[in-house]
Amino acid sequence: MPFHYHKRITLIPKLLHVTISRHGWSWSLGGRRAHLTRDSHGRRSAAVRLPGGFSLRRDSRRP
């Protein structure tokens, strides 16, 4: 049974948090409806939740 570890640290409530895991770190900026995320491996993503259960997500990687 593999063990997983992550710790979420809120820097600014409902706006900015950092997540630390054994594979690296990431930060997220935004709230429930829209947010931007960046991790230690250079991956970036942006997500927007729309009414009716729809969502848009765009992923990209640093060159």
pLDDT in tens, 4-20: 899 999 999 999 999 99
DSSP 34-45: EEEEEETTSEEE
What is the pTM (predicted TM-score) of this model? 0.72
pLDDT in tens, 24-35: 999 999 988 999
> Which residues, 6+ apart, have CB-to-CB distance to 46 below 8 Å?
34, 35, 36, 37, 57, 58
Cβ atoms of 11 and 23 within 8 Å: the answer is no
DSSP structural state of residue 14: T
Dihedral of CA 45/10/30/6: which sign? Answer: positive
